[in-house]
RNA sequence: GGGCGCGUAGCUCAGUUGGAUAGAGCAUCAGCCUUCUAAGCUGAGGGUCGCAGGUUCGAUCCCUGCCGCGCCUACCA
């Protein structure tokens, strides 16, 4: 309810300023530094001071004296150098909150596409991939909570170098046949097996540079789709995709569609894009210099103020297309600009009944579904690829798709690295140079990193020990369910508490913590609130008991008023977190809400309260806290365990 | 060389389009379980917001320069 009130206040004030001073300024509301200053502060007088050449304080006084009454606002006062502090009508606000009303969810026009995860299907997922998937999944949940229609895509590069390398490992190094690999797949943890194999082949390349010819041959065979190497490629990629989907589902992460590189090749997506790019002169055939014979995009296209910027090769001199080229075609498909679509088959159905589809190359047996054609596209990709993302956007611009270029958002984030201490704990030897660094980059090629499933297992073990010691009366299954929820809560919160452009130096001690600013702390608050509601038995009809007069009287207690405000801020926070594209804001809010609840829990013994009206109000607040905590955690992809 | 990002308490990080006394967690120290779960709560110590200029009534935030760190800058993906 606060967002509506807020916009009502801000438009009333800006309208008054327009009439009174003939100046149009956006009036923003701030949360005052101290609660005792009131609910909102308006710094508009400071903005006006410059234009009107008048002291901010004097302007604020004029405004306060002349502003017409605003519904829901009780008093205005001038404070500090020119703030207008504003106090709300407590009883009216509380009654509005108590009465079951319905705020209309603003349905956005058109579909939003969020692409995340995108792990090369050649080895186990690691903590870097977890940050991507958790960030993407959380943003999806936030968008959906705000009423937007969202499609989640997980792009599978099943024909790339990384898959080829593992195939090289199986075929050339280990002399494995497809049936041998099939046997390995049915055994456990195929993705872990490939993790080691990938490190092994990478080292082999390093020691024997000649063997890189194996990679070229294998890549070629995979693209052609024929023969044993291609079969191995399909086996590896398909099996690893299954592993990744399982890992992500442990964290509650689902997808709608898995577009694959193999279909982009077979359905000739690139050919269509290439025609458009040539036709609209977005790229040209270079005739001289080091890029002679290549189709390139001029550097000026993606970096306006740098004429001398190197051009970017899109098609190599041997006629093959680069990754960026394919990415331009793929991005065009996401906006429905390619004039083509994949065919789809069901891939799996999640336990909650939600289906996910995978792209296929033929119409035969295809499911009657279609994807892509979004209005806005968020690509969750780490910041190291920002240069390539710029080139993709430049491609859209050069094709005159300016609106789509503007709606292509690189949802970038910094990498997850390893703290030197974490490396030591894993028994990884570091060079003296690396030891001196604040963090060490995770490297699949070196096999240096923490596997996602290992970390989740470790978290569950550690949570289970805690749960079991506190809840001996519960069954093993119940304990395990609670421990899982807590482990996932800890992991997801840990990945979300940092803002996107902060490098996370992964540290076991911090990631495995269940106290302080963590997911379990927030879950604990929700569990305690749930327990009180459970003990209280049947709840009264709040709207009946808590009349405006009763609310107003109870809310003379300043602390209770602050608690009411605390449970009223979810929508406002969601809007701001979405606008900033920063899930960390939502995570932080969850923590602050839980902190507020802790002090409510300490100060107000709900069950013991004997006054009927007060008891009803405390119960209502408890229910609000529980609901808001649950809802906010839900946006973070964190569930509330039955007990802790 | 160029581009992007970062530098805030011992450590890890927030800091809401420039605003009131710069915040939180961890760690340290001192307290709180016969009272709805102590995965909790209360309190204390701890800061030249990298450095130097500039713009402004006002700068952690904007501009310039410098220092330090990271990433990117492939006919790899």
- Report yes or no: A184 and A178 within 8 Å, Cβ to Cβ: no
Three-class secondary structure assignment of A551-565: HHHHCCCHHHHHHHH
Residues 546-585 of A, Cβ under 7 A from nucleic strand B: 576, 582, 584-585
Report the distance from CA of residue A571 to the C1' of nucleotide B10 in Å, as an integer.
38
Q: What is the pLDDT of residues A94-136, one digit of tens each?
A: 887 777 654 545 556 789 999 999 999 999 999 999 999 999 9
Report the distance from CA of residue A448 to the C1' of nucleotide B76 in Å, as an integer.
20
Which residue bears the tokens 């955690």? A633
Q: What is the pTM of this model?
A: 0.95
The mean pLDDT of A479-493, rounded to a whole number, is 98
Report the distance from CA of residue A638 to the C1' of nucleotide B77 in Å, as an integer.
33
Asked if strand B contacts A120 at the CB level, meaning under 7 A, the answer is: yes
Report the distance from CA of residue A411 to the C1' of nucleotide B73 in Å, as an integer.
20
Nearest nucleotide to the CA of A323, by C1', is: B77
pLDDT bin (cut points 50, 70, 90) of residue A16 is confident
The mean pLDDT of A416-421, rounded to a whole number, is 89
Strands A312-315 and A376-382: unpaired
For residue A601, the SS3 value is helix
% of chain A residues with pLDDT over 90 = 69
- Comparing C-alpha atoms, which of A166, A265, A167 is closest to residue A225? A265
What is the length of chain A? 644
Residues 215-234 of A, Cβ under 7 A from nucleic strand B: none
Report the distance from CA of residue A494 to the C1' of nucleotide B23 in Å, as an integer.
19
Which residue bears the tokens 């001038």? A78
Q: What is the pLDDT of residues A509-536, one digit of tens each?
A: 999 999 999 999 999 999 999 999 999 9
Give CA–CA dist A410/A407, Å, rounded. Answer: 10
Nearest nucleotide to the CA of A622, by C1', is: B36
Which residue bears the tokens 């036709």? A279
Residues 341-380 of A, Cβ under 7 A from nucleic strand B: none
Asked if strand B contacts A294 at the CB level, meaning under 7 A, the answer is: yes
What pLDDT does residue A305 have? 47
Residue A600 has pLDDT above 60, yes or no: yes
What pLDDT does residue A370 have? 95
Q: What is the pLDDT of residues A149-181, one digit of tens each?
A: 999 999 999 999 999 999 999 999 999 999 999
Query: For chain B, which bases have at least one atom within 7 A of a protein Cβ?
Result: 2-6, 12-17, 19-21, 23-27, 35-37, 39-42, 57-58, 69-77
């Amino acid at each position: 309810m606060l967002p509506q009130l807020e916009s009502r206040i801000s438009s009333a004030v800006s309208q008054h300023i327009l009439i009174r001073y003939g100046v149009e300024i956006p009036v923003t509301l701030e949360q005052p530094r101290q609660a005792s200053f009131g609910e909102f502060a308006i710094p508009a007088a400071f903005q006006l001071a410059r234009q009107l050449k008048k002291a901010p304080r004097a302007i604020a006084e004029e405004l306060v004296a002349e502003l017409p009454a605003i519904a829901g606002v009780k008093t205005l006062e001038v404070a500090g150098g020119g703030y207008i502090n504003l106090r709300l009508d407590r009883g009216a606000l509380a009654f509005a909150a108590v009465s079951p009303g319905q705020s209309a969810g603003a349905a956005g026009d058109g579909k939003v596409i969020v692409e995340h995860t995108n792990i090369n299907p050649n080895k186990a997922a690691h903590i870097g991939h977890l940050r991507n998937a958790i960030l993407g999944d959380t943003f999806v949940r936030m968008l959906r909570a705000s009423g937007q229609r969202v499609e989640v895509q997980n792009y599978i590069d099943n024909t790339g170098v990384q898959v080829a390398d593992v195939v090289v490992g199986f075929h050339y190094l280990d002399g494995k046949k497809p049936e041998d690999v099939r046997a390995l797949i049915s055994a456990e943890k195929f993705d872990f097996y490939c993790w080691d194999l990938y490190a092994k082949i990478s080292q082999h390349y390093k020691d024997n540079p000649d063997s890189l010819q194996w990679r070229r041959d294998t890549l070629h065979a995979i693209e052609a789709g024929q023969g044993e190497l291609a079969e191995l490629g399909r086996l590896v990629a398909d099996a690893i995709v299954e592993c990744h989907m399982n890992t992500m589902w442990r964290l509650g992460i689902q997808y709608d569609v898995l577009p694959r590189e193999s279909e982009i090749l077979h359905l000739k997506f690139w050919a269509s894009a290439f025609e458009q790019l040539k036709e609209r002169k977005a790229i040209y055939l270079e005739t001289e210099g080091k890029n002679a014979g290549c189709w390139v995009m001029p550097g000026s296209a993606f970096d306006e103020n740098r004429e001398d910027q190197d051009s970017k090769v899109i098609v190599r001199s041997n006629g093959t297309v680069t990754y960026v080229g394919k990415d331009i075609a793929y991005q065009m498909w996401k906006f429905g600009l390619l004039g083509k679509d994949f065919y789809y088959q069901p891939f799996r159905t999640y336990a909650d009944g939600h289906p996910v589809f995978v792209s296929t190359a033929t119409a035969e047996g295809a499911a009657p579904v279609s994807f892509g054609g979004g209005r806005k596209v968020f690509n969750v990709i780490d910041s190291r690829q920002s240069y390539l993302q710029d080139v993709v956007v430049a491609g859209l611009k050069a094709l005159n798709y300016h609106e789509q270029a503007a709606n292509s958002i690189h949802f970038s984030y910094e990498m997850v690295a390893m703290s030197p201490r974490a490396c030591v704990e894993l028994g990884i030897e570091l060079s003296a140079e690396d030891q001196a660094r604040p963090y060490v980059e995770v490297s699949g090629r070196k096999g240096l990193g923490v596997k996602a499933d290992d970390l989740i297992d470790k978290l569950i073990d550690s949570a289970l020990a805690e749960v079991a010691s506190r809840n001996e009366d519960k069954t093993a299954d119940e304990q395990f369910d609670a421990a899982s929820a807590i482990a996932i809560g800890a992991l997801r919160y840990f990945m979300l508490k940092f803002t996107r452009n902060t490098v996370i130096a992964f540290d076991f001690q911090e990631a495995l913590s269940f106290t302080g600013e963590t997911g379990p702390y927030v879950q604990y608050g929700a569990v305690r609130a749930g327990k009180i509601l459970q003990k209280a038995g049947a709840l009264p009809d709040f709207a009946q008991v808590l009349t405006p007069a009763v609310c107003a009287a109870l809310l003379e207690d300043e602390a209770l008023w602050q608690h009411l405000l605390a449970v009223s801020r979810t929508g406002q926070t969601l809007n701001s977190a979405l606008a900033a594209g920063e899930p960390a804001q939502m995570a932080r809010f969850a923590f602050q809400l839980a902190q507020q609840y802790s002090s409510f829990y300490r100060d107000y013994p709900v069950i013991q309260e004997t006054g009927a009206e007060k008891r009803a109000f405390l119960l209502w607040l408890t229910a609000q806290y529980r609901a808001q905590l649950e809802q906010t955690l839900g946006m973070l992809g964190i569930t509330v365990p039955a007990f802790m």
